[in-house]
Amino acid sequence: MNVCKTCDSAGVPGTGPLPWEIDATTEALIDRVAAGRMLELRGDVPLEDMIPLLESELKYTIVSFVDCLDCERVLFWGLCVRGNPILRHADRSEIEHWRWSTVPPRRRWARK
């Protein structure tokens, strides 16, 4: 398969111990959604809220499934407290089979 300029370029490789830069990669996804190149399918919280929730350490894993409107594949972006972030393509059926768990009330972790 050809490299997709939308989703295959979304991940920003880590310059430290992590495989991906959490802030830059999340920002890249947000930018692509804003540009109409990707679509948020389902996540624990909106992309913009993933990092504040992660930093609160109130939820251990925070994931988001994002549709690439360019190549029609689904991208999985998963953050984990004190763990490695995961960025990979996912099967669309994973979304319904994912073990979604409760998100703590927003007022406990949101920045504003």
Which residues contact Zn ion (rule: CB under 5 A)? 4, 6-7, 68, 70-71
Closest CB to Zn ion among residues 35, 110: 35
Closest CB to Zn ion among residues 42, 58: 42
Contact at 8 Å (CB) between 32 and 1? no
Burial 41-53 (b: 16+ CB within 10 A, else e): eebbbebebbbeb
Closest CB to Zn ion among residues 4, 80: 4
CB of 3 to Zn ion, least distance (A): 9
Bridge partners of 67? Answer: 39, 74
CB of 57 to Zn ion, least distance (A): 32
CB of 95 to Zn ion, least distance (A): 17
Tell me which amino acid residue 70 is: D
CB of 20 to Zn ion, least distance (A): 17
Q: What share of the chain is helix, strand, coil (3-state, %, to 5)?
A: 25, 25, 50
Closest CB to Zn ion among residues 26, 54: 26
Gap between the Cα atoms of 78 and 96, Å rounded: 16
